[in-house]
Structure 1
Amino acid sequence: MTETSPQQISVKKILPLILATAIFMQMLDSTILNTSLPSIAKDLHESPLNMQNAIISYVLTLAVFMPASGFLADRFGTKKVFIFSLVLFSLGSLFCSMSQNLTHLVISRVIQGVGGSLMTPVGKLALIKTFDKNELLKAMNFAIIPALIGPVLGPLVGGYMVDYLSWHWIFLINIPIGVLGIILGLKYMPNYKSTDVDFDLKGFLIFAAASLLLSISLELFGDMQNISPVLFVFILGFLFLYYYYKHARRGGNPIFPLDLFQVRTFRVGIVGNLATRLGISSVPLLLPLMIQIAYKQSAVTSGWIIAPMALTAIFGKSSVIKILDKYGYRQTLMVNTFIIGTLICLLAIPDIHTNLYWFVPIIAILGFFNSIQFTSMNTISIADLRNFQTSSGNSLISVNQQLAIGFGIAFGLIVLKLFENSSLIEGEIHNAFRYTFLTVGILTIISGFVFRRLHISDGKNMKSKEG
């Protein structure tokens, strides 16, 4: 048995922190802009409606470049690609803060997006390759917390910065975090490479086109006046996915090999992630919207109402390993998804006269169970992947999560608009939100049955070391 060197011990202590830094920046950046758009639009002399391009350009860049993250890490090494991505993201943030018009801002967001598309998947890949399977759950559990905190803190931090400083600071905040990540990365990030690297350019272009079209359709769903072009783009995206499937079946060295889906835990993890996030991802958008539109409260108030979700996510982190060790992945994920779905349904109970603070305990409990859900889904997806599958599998998981979050947000908005235009709500916009929470919650409960496909023993190799 080989002894672990002090250098390896240091790497294992610091690496989850480096990945947490990257995830936090990306998740914060994905949401912090939302509350700041009117202020930026005013300063750049643009219509607030045109400012959506600043968000869409970032999301689309993520969708296009994420599939290449595994190949680039294998070809140039995890350390080089990760540091390059942090430099790009930090530079993009600086350029965003210096933007003089919307075009400058969109170009800067694209630079940020290229950095963001590599940053998290490559950091996660280094984590997977560094830790043994029975240590990985603990490491991933620590690193995943910013994914829960970022979307909650984003609107709150953005609201305060715009009110008390200026919109430029929502981008400048990334730079010290990025510099910290670069310094830690230079010292502690291992540089894993693969000798067997052959880039599937055709497959990358097909898959990138599919991701791009699906992302565009999801963005358009949120603001649809005419459904036909949106459906056309959506269907075209799925046709490109089918084209990629045909391409990958021909053999060669596809960017995402189809044999990944022969690994049952990976397959269930991917499908489960997509299904359960339909409900989970819509809540951080729908609840603040309801508080602002139906209850006529400020963005900062709505931010504070959902803030407990971030705090209880940290408590969930400390419990998830014990829960998984005791009940296993199958039972934990099924029961946990049912609980999350039920909590989303409970958001539909208060009427327009109920005190806003009724939502706080529900949101707090939801944060706890979300933490368990994300850690469990992320780790079971990679539990049985072989070493040669980790790069492509990890990239595909990242792309899937990005699309799943987009699907969740679009789905929530579509259901809300359907109820808004129906006779059920009797002109009360608040009731449209209540029916939406009920629908989304019930579908989340149903999605829990996806995890029935897991075996009771699945994930045993992920069980943490005692002590």
Structure 2
Amino acid sequence: MNKERLIPLIVATALFMENMDSTVIATSLPAIAADIGTSPLTLKLAITSYLLSLAVFIPASGWTADRFGARIVFAGAVGVFMLGSIGCALSGSVTDFVFARILQGLGGAMMTPVGRLVLLRSVDKSALVNAMAWVTVPALIGPVIGPPLGGFITTYFSWHWIFLINIPIGLLGIFLALKYIDPIKSVDPERFDLYGLVLAGIGLAGIAFGLSVAGLNLLPWPIVAALVGVGTVSMTLYVIHAKRTGSPVLDFSLLRLPTMRASIVGGFMFRLGIGALPFLLPLLMQVGFGLSPFQSGLVTFASAVGAMGMKTLAARIIKAFGFRNMMTVNAVVSAAFLAACALFTATTPLMLIFTILVVGGFFRSLQFTAINTVAYAEVEAPQMSRATTLVSVNQQLAVSAGVAVGAFSVETTLALHHQTELSADVFGPAFIVVSLISAASAWFFWQMPADAGNEIAGRKAIDISSRKGAEKRAATDAVKAATEDTQNARDQRLG
């Protein structure tokens, strides 16, 4: 297998490990809590501490990759994630477990953006769509199969294996990364912006952590609002600071590029809506329809099936229609399948639910592949590390916001219906709200130039040949006109 096929698989495997592990823990919390002598509610700190660690360390990933080389940082991130996994498996108290999760978050914060940077620096732009299709899949199927897999391992084996299964995967990933990824690093790395990292870290941690605990109902709303407020103020201070430094950890000047702006702004809205799905759907299946966690997991796994089916067709579809047209239409189509979940009832045939989720998963995966790819269409090579950091931060905030919006919509419906307990009928409005937000992203995708991303979509040759043909015809017409003018002038003199 050549590098252009192997490297996406190496990166995808590491990202799958990170995405799955961040969700697999959810169904295993009661068993872990009982084993280490604490309550499941207290142990939810393990989830939030992981998200907090991600938010703090992601901004440093771009500079770290430039300074030490993307290959060594990626392999090191996998190693740190493995150490955190071992720490989780060996934990005997809440403190041990939370510290181990923070270590995992550090590894995950470096793995995702640096893994994407490895891909961008190793794969030709003409093959980028296919490569991104592979890397997109883990982000879609990890949250879907994580909960049922966690329940299965905890029920039939031991919760420790949730973390220990990362070890052979991680060792294989490190070996393949060191063997096949080129040791590329920046010749002249920029000065490290420590002050900016502190501001951005506090800002992202406050916003992401606040939105995440809002979705989990761990803290009162005033505290959640305070967290988000502090994060917002810190991010505002960072934006002011970033304009005054030549090496910002988060480079918002990249938003001047139309394709990056569409990927960040439109992608945030699309991910916000879709990010609520792994939160809302299992609750609907279990609380609303009375399915077991394992049964619910088997149904929602349909989204992963659709995502896998997309990876072989994404490049062809984008090449046929272009990024702008495809992403604009597909945002609405994907949102429609998300809204269809609002129609599910306890009497809806499971096969119909499965079919809707499979087809919806296909279109969502196609959109994620396009968003992740077109972001780098106009980014120059020296800016790639900054671009991957910005994209990763945006994705993290969008998922946190999606859970918060989904949870808030459900709670609002409960209040309006004067209910205190969840039931199937309170989830419908939440699906409608998040689907409308996702559909609104289409406007931002339509704002891209008509030829956006044509080079990476494989459409440049067609455009160039058409333009050259037009130029050739124009030149021929000009010569012909000049010849006719000369002949007319000669005739007039003879006359």
TM-score bracket for the superposition, by shorter chain length = over 0.9
188, 195, 203: which is aligned to 2:196? 203
Q: Check if 1:322 corresponds to 2:348.
A: no
2:192 aligned partner, one-letter code: F
Task: Indicate how the Cα distance of structure 1 residues 322 and 196 shifts in structure 2: closer, same or farther if over 3 A, else same.
Answer: same
1:231 aligned partner, one-letter code: A
Question: In the alignment, which residue of structure 2 is the partner of 1:5?
Answer: none
Instruction: Give 1:426 deviation, angstroms.
Output: 11
Instruction: Give 1:28 deviation, angstroms.
Output: 0.5
Q: Check if 1:11 corresponds to 2:3.
A: yes
Q: Check if 1:338 corresponds to 2:332.
A: yes
Question: In the alignment, which residue of structure 1 is the partner of 2:70?
Answer: 78
Task: Indicate how the Cα distance of structure 1 residues 427 and 239 shifts in structure 2: closer, same or farther if over 3 A, else same.
Answer: closer
In structure 2, C-alpha distance between the alignment counterparts of 1:42 and 1:14, rounded to whole Å = 42
State how 1:36-55 maps to structure 2 within 5 Å. 36-55=28-47
Deviation readout 1:92-148 (Å, 9 max, x if unpaired): 111111111111111111111111111121121011112222121121222221111
Task: Indicate how the Cα distance of structure 1 residues 427 and 111 shifts in structure 2: closer, same or farther if over 3 A, else same.
Answer: closer
**Given that residues 7 and 180 in structure 2 are in contact (C-alpha distance below 8 angstroms), is that contact kept between their aligned partners in structure 1?**
yes
Instruction: Give 1:424 deviation, angstroms.
Output: 7.8
User: Structure 1, unaligned stretches of length 5 or more?
Assistant: 1-8
In structure 1, C-alpha distance between the alignment counterparts of 2:68 and 2:419, rounded to whole Å = 56
**Given that residues 138 and 464 in structure 1 are in contact (C-alpha distance below 8 angstroms), is that contact kept between their aligned partners in structure 2?**
no
Question: In the alignment, which residue of structure 2 is the partner of 1:403?
Answer: 397
Q: Check if 1:312 corresponds to 2:306.
A: yes
Question: In the alignment, which residue of structure 2 is the partner of 1:459?
Answer: 453
Name the % identity.
38
State how 1:295-306 maps to structure 2 within 5 Å. 295-306=289-300
Aligned residues: 458
260, 267, 286: which is aligned to 1:266? 260
Question: In the alignment, which residue of structure 1 is the partner of 2:168?
Answer: 176
**Given that residues 141 and 375 in structure 1 are in contact (C-alpha distance below 8 angstroms), is that contact kept between their aligned partners in structure 2?**
yes
Task: Indicate how the Cα distance of structure 1 residues 83 and 224 shifts in structure 2: closer, same or farther if over 3 A, else same.
Answer: closer
User: Structure 2, unaligned stretches of length 5 or more?
Assistant: 462-495
State how 1:19-168 maps to structure 2 within 5 Å. 19-168=11-160
236, 240, 251: which is aligned to 1:246? 240
Report the TM-score when normalising by structure 1: 0.94
Instruction: Give 1:359 deviation, angstroms.
Output: 1.6
**Given that residues 425 and 432 in structure 1 are in contact (C-alpha distance below 8 angstroms), is that contact kept between their aligned partners in structure 2?**
no
2:403 aligned partner, one-letter code: I
In structure 1, C-alpha distance between the alignment counterparts of 2:337 and 2:211, rounded to whole Å = 25
417, 423, 444: which is aligned to 1:423? 417
Question: In the alignment, which residue of structure 2 is the partner of 1:215?
Answer: 208
**Given that residues 306 and 357 in structure 2 are in contact (C-alpha distance below 8 angstroms), is that contact kept between their aligned partners in structure 1?**
no
Instruction: Give 1:397 deviation, angstroms.
Output: 0.4
**Given that residues 20 and 145 in structure 2 are in contact (C-alpha distance below 8 angstroms), is that contact kept between their aligned partners in structure 1?**
yes
Deviation readout 1:161-197 (Å, 9 max, x if unpaired): 0110010111011111101101101101211111222
Task: Indicate how the Cα distance of structure 1 residues 170 and 426 shifts in structure 2: closer, same or farther if over 3 A, else same.
Answer: closer
1:209 aligned partner, one-letter code: I
Deviation readout 1:395-425 (Å, 9 max, x if unpaired): 1101111111111111111111110111287
Question: In the alignment, which residue of structure 1 is the partner of 2:372?
Answer: 378
Deviation readout 1:193-229 (Å, 9 max, x if unpaired): 1122211111111111111111221122121663222
Deviation readout 1:248-302 (Å, 9 max, x if unpaired): 1113322223421211111110011211112101111111111111112210010
**Given that residues 224 and 230 in structure 1 are in contact (C-alpha distance below 8 angstroms), is that contact kept between their aligned partners in structure 2?**
no
Q: Which protein has the larger Cα radius of gyration, Structure 1 or Structure 2?
A: 2
**Given that residues 332 and 438 in structure 2 are in contact (C-alpha distance below 8 angstroms), is that contact kept between their aligned partners in structure 1?**
yes
Question: In the alignment, which residue of structure 1 is the partner of 2:342?
Answer: 348
Instruction: Give 1:443 deviation, angstroms.
Output: 2.4
In structure 2, C-alpha distance between the alignment counterparts of 1:264 and 1:447, rounded to whole Å = 14
Aligned residues: CA RMSD: 1.8
Task: Indicate how the Cα distance of structure 1 residues 183 and 225 shifts in structure 2: closer, same or farther if over 3 A, else same.
Answer: closer
In structure 2, C-alpha distance between the alignment counterparts of 1:392 and 1:446, rounded to whole Å = 27
